[in-house]
Amino acid sequence: MRRSTLAMVRDAHDNGYAVPAFNVVDDLSLRAVVDAAEEAGSPVIIQASLKTARSIGVELLTEMFDAATARCRVDTALHLDHCPDLSMIERVVAARWSSVLFDASDRDLGQAVAETSAVVGLAHAAGVDVESEIENIVGVEDGVGSDVIVHSYSVEQLADAIRTTGADLIAPQLGTAHGAYHGRPTLLPHRVRELRELVDCPVVLHGGTGLTEAEFRSLIAAGVSKINISTAVKHAYMDSAYHFLKKARAKDEWDPPSLFRSIAGEIRAVALRHFDIFGSAGRSPGVQS
Ligand SMILES: [Zn+2]
């Protein structure tokens, strides 16, 4: 069942868990995540990067999501991840996706606030929620972002920006980074608490792959209610394909459906693990009733 991203994430905040948002790259990964959500009874947000939206196309991606979730009992939403490109935001809003992350973290504060306000106006008119990012979360993801901190603000400035723009969710710097970690990150759960005290706006955690269960739980306890998982899905996809194909070559057996099953199984396992850690398993209203 399709539901608004904001409604799902607010439910999660009120009940002390977080909704996982998985980046999918094709119909195989999309169906694997949706099947896992059904199995776990968890609400789930399906995300596409700008790169994926461009490679598959907004129209086909919308149809794939609708087809894959048509008979779902659990709450589902379709979200566009980091997008600094206003023309793509317009296309996704016109296609009535659930939400978009307008990534204005490469702009100065004044311009970021002005452009985010315009995006919120456009999106809300179509019933689409907006996640706002004005501080850059380090690491490059699918070609978007920077490896160094370009813009960083106080929680008061972030709260002011939310009030001015009317954005529905915020993705602040929380010490995490996109991609794989090469050292332990210094997490900033206090920023989540401070922000939540200043403004009633759900907080999103990016760069989730590589955090420990305890780290996830401490950030959820601090008030994070949407957590993005991208790198873990990509690794599951590529690792399982790599190992499967190595065996296929050794055995000289070439059966694509077996390869698909192997990849889907690994992605499903990644999703199930995160539903468990984030406390979202069994939480979808459609499942409880
Ligand atoms: Zn991100």
Residue type, 220: I
Provide DSSP, the chain: -B--HHHHHHHHHHTT--EEEEE--SHHHHHHHHHHHHHHT--EEEEE-HHHHHHH-HHHHHHHHHHHHTT-SS-EEEEEEEE--HHHHHHHHHTT-SEEEEE-TTS-HHHHHHHHHHHHHHHHHTT-EEEEE-SPPSS-BTTBS-SS------HHHHHHHHHHH--SEE----S--SS--SS-----HHHHHHHHHH----EEE---TT--HHHHHHHHHHTEEEEEE-HHHHHHHHHHHHHHHHHHHHHT---HHHHHHHHHHHHHHHHHHHHHHHT-TT--HHHH-
**Nearest of 150, 135, 141, 268 to residue 207 by alpha carbon:** 141
251-281 pLDDT, tens digit per residue, is 999 999 999 999 999 999 999 999 999 999 9
Q: Give the least confident one: 46-50, 54-58, 102-106, 284-288.
A: 284-288
Whose structure tokens read 């399982």? 240
**Portion of the chain with pLDDT greater than 90, in percent:** 88
What is the whole-number distance in angstroms between the Cα of residue 254 and the centre of ligand 1? 36
What is the whole-number distance in angstroms between the Cα of residue 153 and the centre of ligand 1? 18
Whether residue 34 contacts residue 72, with contact meaning beta carbons closer than 8 Å, is answered with yes
Q: Indicate the pLDDT class of residue 216, thresholds 50, 70 and 90.
A: very high
What is the whole-number distance in angstroms between the Cα of residue 65 and the centre of ligand 1? 20
Averaged pLDDT for residues 37-41:
97
Tell me the two tokens of residue 169.
């969710």
What is the whole-number distance in angstroms between the Cα of residue 252 and the centre of ligand 1? 40
For residue 3, CA distances in Å to 12, 93, 98, 234 come to 13, 15, 7, 26
Q: Indicate the pLDDT class of residue 10, thresholds 50, 70 and 90.
A: very high
Q: Look at residue 12 and give its three-state secondary structure.
A: helix
pLDDT of residue 286: 61
What is the whole-number distance in angstroms between the Cα of residue 181 and the centre of ligand 1? 14
Residue 174 has pLDDT above 60, yes or no: yes
80-132 pLDDT, tens digit per residue, is 999 999 999 999 999 999 999 999 999 999 999 999 999 999 999 999 999 99
Indicate which residue of 26, 27, 66, 81 is catalytic: 81
Asked if 81 is an active-site residue, the reply is yes
Q: Which domain holds residue 147?
A: 5-288
Rounded to two decimals, the pTM is 0.96
Residue 289 has pLDDT above 80, yes or no: no
Query: CA 63 to CA 36: how far, in whole Å?
Result: 20
With vertex at residue 286, the alpha carbon angle to CA 47 and CA 36, rounded to the nearest 5 degrees, is 45
What is the whole-number distance in angstroms between the Cα of residue 20 and the centre of ligand 1? 13
Query: CA 83 to CA 101: how far, in whole Å?
Result: 6
pLDDT of residue 229: 97
Domain count, the chain: 1
Q: Indicate the pLDDT class of residue 288, thresholds 50, 70 and 90.
A: low
| CATH number where 232 lies | 3.20.20.70
Averaged pLDDT for residues 5-24:
97
E-assigned strands of the chain?
19-23, 44-48, 76-83, 99-103, 129-133, 169-170, 203-205, 224-229
Contacts of 273 (CB under 8 A, 6+ apart): none
**Nearest of 18, 4, 60, 13 to residue 226 by alpha carbon:** 18
Residue 5 has pLDDT above 90, yes or no: yes
What is the whole-number distance in angstroms between the Cα of residue 255 and the centre of ligand 1? 35
